[in-house]
Amino acid sequence: MENENTAKIISGKEVSAKIRGDLSRRCDAFREKTGRVPGLAVIRVGEDPASQVYVRNKLRACEEVGFYSEAHVLPENSTMEELLAEIEKLNRDPAIDGLLVQLPIPRHLDEKAAIAAVADEKDVDAFHKLDAGHLTLGDGNILPCTPSGIMEMLRYYGIPVAGRECVVVGRSNIVGRPMAALLLAADGTVTIAHSRTPDLPEVTRRADILVSAVGKAGLITADMVKPGAVVIDVGMNRNADGKLCGDADFEGVSKVASYITPVPGGVGPMTVTMLLANTMAAAEKKM
């Protein structure tokens, strides 16, 4: 039976399909002008199973829009020198427009130094300190993929941000902080909550737009959501049955929210799509 209080689904798949169609056309035009296609290289260190899946998805997405892509897999026990040498080699490779190191890398390696070693013009993850600085100042041109994908979804579904209460749960450098910066740049009134927030439900209930980027299944329950709020679920977790799920109790929250992103099929596809968009932009800049 149809429940009239069921939130509309924000489909990352649908928004992705539209953007990837546009990218495919831009890729054709780029090929005609330059005689080559945009190229993305991904470095993976070790055999983390989740990273293997993410890298595979990125390469498959490149293929879908017509980009060139390559994965470079280094052994788990690689040294920092070996990793930096691989990054340097790809920094110099003219066929590569976008370069990223799939995180996490093994603990004995220096993640910050690896990110910093990627050439500025190829940093399609936009994790450089400089990118974070530009974003904070509101003049960034290349944006981190997950938060910029979320902004694209809000735009696609005509969900206004200006003047609305936005709550971001999570303050990581790759999701929470840049998400808050983008919502602020779009004139939202932004609150960031985290593990030291004493009364999380009191904060989340203020949100017209609630973004959860924590990584805890079942963290966001229906009673924590204001009726009619838009809920963006970034979390990627496994439930007790081993199924992929977000941070929100999807069934319960769907009865309260006006819009919700599913997991899978919500934020995830958008993250990869924005990586493609950043790679396209990096290639076009060289034209």
Active site (catalytic) residues: 58, 102, 125
Cβ–Cβ < 8 Å for 114, 87:
yes
- Residue pointed to by tokens 């981190």: 144
- Taking the complex as a whole, the smallest distance from the CB of residue 245 to ligand NDP amounts, in Å, to 10
Minimum Å gap between C-beta 35 and ligand NDP is 33
If one asks whether residue 194 binds ligand NDP (CB under 6 A), the answer comes out as: yes
Name the residue nearer to ligand NDP (CB basis): 37 or 267. Answer: 267
Does 252 bind ligand NDP (CB under 6 A)? Our answer is no
Residue 36 as a binder of ligand NDP (CB under 6 A): the answer is no
Looking at the Cβ atoms of 16 and 69, the one nearer to ligand NDP is: 16
The amino acid sitting at 2 is: E
Give the nearest distance from C-beta 170 to ligand NDP in angstroms: 4
118 to 177, contacts with ligand NDP by CB under 6 A?
146, 169-172, 174-176
- Extract the tokens encoding 57: 């998805």
What's the Cα-to-Cα distance from 60 to each of 36, 147, 199, 247, 264, rounded to whole Å?
A: 18, 21, 42, 26, 17
Instruction: Find where tokens 């929470």 sit.
Output: 176
Min dist CB 103 to ligand NDP, Å, is 8
Burial of 240 (0-12, 13-18, 19+ CB in 10 A): exposed
Are 184 and 141 within 8 A, CB to CB? no
Tell me the three state secondary structure of residue 8: strand
Confirm or reject binding of residue 234 to ligand NDP (CB under 6 A).
yes
Percent of the chain that is helix, strand, coil (3-state, to 5): 45, 15, 40
> Would you tell me how many other CB atoms lie within 10 Å of the CB of residue 17?
13
Structure tokens at 91: 């920094």
Region binding ligand NDP by CB under 6 A among candidate stretches 25-33, 81-89, 153-161, 235-243: 235-243
The site for ligand NDP, by CB under 6 A, has a size of 25
Q: Please, which residue, 33 or 194, has the CB nearer to ligand NDP? A: 194
Near ligand NDP in 263-282, by CB under 6 A:
267-268, 271
First-to-last C-alpha distance (Å) of the chain: 55
> Which residue lies nearer to ligand NDP by CB, 271 or 278?
271
Interface with ligand NDP (CB under 6 A), residue from 38, 140, 147, 235: 235
* Identity of the residue, 180 or 214, whose beta carbon is nearer to ligand NDP in the bound complex: 214
The interface region with ligand NDP, picked from 62-70, 78-86, 106-114, 194-202 by CB under 6 A, is 194-202
Strand order in the sheet with 189-193: 8-9, 259-260, 230-233, 209-212, 165-169, 189-193
Q: How many residues does the chain have?
A: 287
Written as six digits, the tokens of 256 are 């309260």
Residue 85 CB, nearest distance to ligand NDP (Å)? 27
Q: Is 210 in the site for ligand NDP (CB under 6 A)?
A: no
d(CA 101, CA 46) in angstroms, rounded, equals 12
Give the nearest distance from C-beta 192 to ligand NDP in angstroms. 8
For ligand NDP, which is the closer residue by CB, 170 or 262? 170
Interface residues with ligand NDP (CB under 6 A) are: 146, 169-172, 174-176, 193-197, 200, 213-216, 234-237, 267-268, 271
